Amino acid sequence: MSSSPVDAPAAPASSLAPRLVAEGLGTFLLVAAAMGTALFASSHFTDPGAQGSVYLAVALAVGLSVLVGVYAFGPISGGHFNPAVTLGAAAAGRIAWRDAGPYIVAQCVGGVVASTVLTLIGTFGPEGWLPRAQDSGFASNGWGALSPGGFGVWAAIIAEVVFTALFLFVILGVTHPTRGTPFAGVAIGLTLTLGVLATLPIDNASLNPARSLATAIYGGVAPLAQLWVFLIFPILGALIAGFTYRALFDQPNPAAQA
* Residues 91 and 238 sit within 8 Å (Cβ to Cβ): yes
Residue 120 reports pLDDT greater than 50: yes
**Residues sharing a CB contact under 8 Å with residue 96, sequence separation 6 or more, in sequence order:** 8, 9, 90
**What are 190-199's pLDDT values in tens digits?**
999 999 999 9
Q: CB of 65 within 8 A of CB of 91?
A: no
Q: What is the mean pLDDT of residues 24-39?
A: 95
Q: How far apart are the C-alpha atoms of 117 and 218, rounded to whole Å?
A: 11
Q: Which pLDDT belongs to residue 50?
A: 45
Task: Provide the residue type at 252 as one letter.
Answer: P
One-character DSSP codes across 70-97: HHHHHHHH-S--SHHHHHHHHHTTSS-H
pLDDT at residue 237 greater than cutoff 70: yes
Per-residue pLDDT, 6: 36
The string of pLDDT tens digits covering residues 171-188 is 999 999 999 999 999 999
Q: What is the per-residue pLDDT for 56?
A: 85
- Cα–Cα distance measured from residue 248 to residue 37, given in angstroms and rounded to the nearest whole number: 38
Residue-wise pLDDT tens digits, 44-73: 555 544 444 578 888 999 999 999 999 999
**What's the pLDDT tens digit per position in 205-221?**
999 999 999 999 999 99
Report the Cα 127 to chain-centroid distance in Å: 32
User: Taking each helix axis from N to C terminus, what angle separates 221-249 and 153-174, rounded to the nearest 10 degrees?
Assistant: 40
Is 3 within 8 Å of 94 (Cβ atoms)? yes
Delineate the domains of the chain, giving CATH numbers in brackets: 16-250 (1.20.1080.10)
124-154 in b/e form (b: 16+ CB < 10 A) is: eeeeebbebbbebbbbbbbbeebbbeebeee
Q: What is the mean pLDDT of residues 22-27?
A: 98
Helix axes 97-123, 83-91, angle to 10 degrees: 170
Query: Which whole-number Å values give the CA distances from 221 to 115, 153, 216, 226, 233, in the listed order?
Result: 16, 17, 8, 9, 20
